[in-house]
Amino acid sequence: MKQLRLLARQIGWEQKMFWRNPAAAVFTFVFPIIFLVIFSAISGDDLVGPDEIRVKFTQYYVPAIVVFGIISACYTALAFTLSIRRTQGILKRKRGTPLTPALYLGGVVGNALVITVVLTVVTLFIGIVAYDFTFPDAASRLPKFALLVLVISFCFTSLGALVSTFVPNEDAAPAMINVVLFPLVFISGTFGPIRPESMLTKVAKLFPVWHAIQATTNLLNPLKSGALDWGYLLVLALWGIGGAALTWRRFRWDPAPTMRAPRTRRRRGVS
């Protein structure tokens, strides 16, 4: 019970630090909403999908933006937080405090999950109120949706922590964290369906973003049965387990050395 109280307190501190940093909060929280508003205004009345199950663009796009928001909170923001705190020596100093490493990292991950839940609720609310999005058969699909959000969050939290272990310094963090993510976000159909037979789709299927988009849009499609596709969840879970295992092996608390110690040369004639 004491450990849970400490974890809740640490999550509360992480929340305070997050919202007191407007730049980080805007990028993580507002960025997906901006995409939702812009693309819905451009293509909101279009019909997308196969001929037999074509739906309004926003019916497809709101679930896709939900996934993008989860990735922003659990992958991008988490990777930035761990990378910057490591290079600034904050992680190293935290190990010298009475707070255990597990509770500290639990607070960081818990903060990402809180942001995920809030951003998911806000995105769905805006979609329902402003863009005629329908959450079909909420009584039966909502528990499945909650499970799906949890699995996606686990997957991208593991990958965010893993990517942070490759970042050598603060300046390299933006490029290294986003260099793979943004191409995958586009080719996975986040901002509109991609033809299934295209080469981009074949490449996207190798990575978890595509599976997260497909699982979420299919589950919230009112013209489909609402069954949860366990194949997509399995792929996401395997990516998450693999990312967690590699993070366990690679994670370090100390900042990476930026300079090598100079070699000392022995003077001639001096023993």
pLDDT in tens, 176-211: 998 889 899 999 988 877 888 889 899 999 999 999
Q: Hey, how many other C-beta atoms are within 10 angstroms of the C-beta on 21?
A: 13
pTM here? 0.89
In a domain, 74, yes or no: yes
Paired tokens of 61: 């796009």
Q: Please name which of 234, 55, 53, 31 lies closest in space to residue 152, comparing C-alpha atoms.
A: 234
State the Rg of the chain over Cα: 21
Q: Which region holds residue 89: left if phi is over 0, alpha if psi is between -120 and 50, else beta? A: left
In a domain, 122, yes or no: yes
Residues 222-233 pLDDT 10s = 888 888 889 999
**Domain membership flag for residue 188:** yes
Q: How confident is the model at residue 27 (pLDDT cuts 50, 70, 90)?
A: confident
User: For the chain, how many structural domains are there in total?
Assistant: 1
Residue 139 structural domain: 2-250
73 lies in some domain: yes
Query: What does DSSP assign to residue 52?
Result: G
Q: Which two tokens stand for residue 158?
A: 């593991």
In percent, the amount of the chain with pLDDT more than 90 equals: 50
Q: Is residue 260 part of a domain?
A: no
**Domain-embedded: residue 267:** no
**Residue 263: inside a domain, yes or no?**
no
Which one-letter amino acid corresponds to residue 69? G
Residue pointed to by tokens 């699982």: 215
264 is a domain residue: no
Cα–Cα dist 257/168, whole Å = 8
Mean pLDDT value across residues 213-220: 93
